[in-house]
């Protein structure tokens, strides 16, 4: 198996990963509710930009993931939990291990773990007391 080497690989990773996410019984309903069907192509392109920026330093991504996750939790009546982030990471690692092997794949795991922890903690700060 090869490592992630370019945007094409990042796009393959994102497409494969979110295909699994959307079908997942636990987190799929959240994603499918928050992102309308006709917005998925645009969202996947934005996520490809996000991961290309994170893995290759290409300054393409424009957005605010923190705000998006806080808003998603609000739309879900503040029910998004650590278990949801854990399942997201589990699917991310599984997808990476199916497709790639190497330093950049390991970096994608490390960055996802750090981001998910940070996003979850910030979401908790915005939950009603």
pLDDT digits (tens, 9 = 90+) for 3-21: 999 999 999 999 999 999 9
Does residue 80 lie in a domain region? yes
Does residue 2 lie in a domain region? no
DSSP line for 63-107: S-HHHHHHHHHHHTTT---HHHHHHHHHHHHHHHHHH--SHHHHH
Give the model's pLDDT for residue 103.
Answer: 97
Does residue 42 lie in a domain region? yes
**Spatial separation of the C-alpha atoms in residues 90 and 127, rounded to whole Å:** 24
What radius of gyration do the chain's Cα atoms show? Answer: 14
Domain count for the chain, please give it.
1
Give the model's pLDDT for residue 92.
Answer: 98
pLDDT digits (tens, 9 = 90+) for 21-68: 999 999 999 999 999 999 999 999 999 999 999 999 999 999 999 999
Please, what is the end-to-end C-alpha distance for the chain in angstroms?
Answer: 48
Give the model's pLDDT for residue 55.
Answer: 97
Assign residue 38 the CATH number of its domain: 1.10.490.10
Does residue 48 lie in a domain region? yes
Answer whether residue 129 shows pLDDT above 90. Answer: no
pLDDT digits (tens, 9 = 90+) for 64-117: 999 999 999 999 999 999 999 999 999 999 999 999 999 999 999 999 999 999
Q: For 87, how many CA atoms within 13 A lie in the half-sphere containing its CB?
A: 17
Does residue 49 lie in a domain region? yes
**Spatial separation of the C-alpha atoms in residues 29 and 13, rounded to whole Å:** 21
| Full domain range(s) for residue 25 | 7-126
Q: Which residue has the tokens 């645009």?
A: 42
């Amino acid at each position: 198996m090869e490592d992630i080497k370019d945007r094409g690989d990042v796009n393959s990773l994102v497409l494969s990963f979110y295909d699994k996410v959307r079908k997942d019984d636990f987190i799929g309903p959240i994603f499918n509710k928050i992102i309308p069907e006709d917005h998925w192509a645009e969202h996947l392109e934005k996520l490809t930009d996000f991961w290309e920026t994170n893995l290759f330093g290409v300054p393409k991504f424009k957005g605010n993931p923190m705000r998006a996750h806080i808003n998603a939790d609000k739309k879900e009546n503040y029910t998004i939990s650590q278990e949801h982030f854990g399942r997201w990471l589990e699917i991310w690692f599984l997808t990476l291990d199916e497709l790639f092997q190497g330093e950049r794949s390991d970096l994608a795991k490390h960055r996802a773990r750090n981001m998910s922890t940070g996003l979850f903690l910030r979401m908790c700060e915005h939950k009603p007391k």
